[in-house]
Amino acid sequence: MASGETKLIIPGLGGIYESLKPWSYPIVRATTGALLIPHGYVKLFGDAANGTAFFMSMKLGGNPKEVAGNFVADWLPVAYYLGVLELVGGAMLTVGLFTRIIAAQVLGFMIVATFMVHWSFGYFWNKAGWEMPFMWGLLALVVLIRGGGPMSLDRKLGKEF
């Protein structure tokens, strides 16, 4: 054992851990993307875009008394952009295509969602709190830093941003 390494409580698992290590980051990247896809789908093909626009209009710009008016319509294009980012961008993260560009956009989206939209609701997600967008932001930051990784279309193309 090299200095600084920890000793495994169950040494027999060491071989399993080593054999799965190359898959650990691709699993994180692909799962981050795959779990965004349903959110984008319901924004684009369900009724979630209206709900997202309504929520953003209340939290990011608009008088709640006027929300029923133009403020929701003003935020609808942003809700559709987020739907495309989650649906198409999520698929691109899953396969590792233009990974850093997509991850940077998801990170920006989640920073706004965490601190400007969900923060006032507290921590817990079941109360619309900030824990989930914060986690998504951290995952997007990791993907932004690491890029597509060895098992990605970016690697197959031989170029990354």
- In the predicted structure, residue 130 carries a pLDDT above the cut 80: yes
Q: What is the pLDDT of residue 63?
A: 56
pTM of the model as a whole = 0.87
What's residue 55's pLDDT?
79
Residue 66, pLDDT score: 55
Residues 6+ apart with CB under 8 A from 135: none
Q: Which residues contact 39 (CB under 8 A, 6 or more apart)?
A: 48, 83, 86, 87, 90
In whole angstroms, give the CA distance from residue 94 to residue 91. Answer: 5
Q: How many CB atoms lie within 10 A of CB 126?
A: 7
136 in Cβ contact with 111 (< 8 Å): no
pLDDT score at 61 = 73
Q: How far apart are CA 61 and CA 44, in angstroms?
A: 22
Residue 85 has pLDDT above 90, yes or no: yes
Predicted confidence band at 53 (pLDDT cuts at 50, 70, 90)?
A: confident
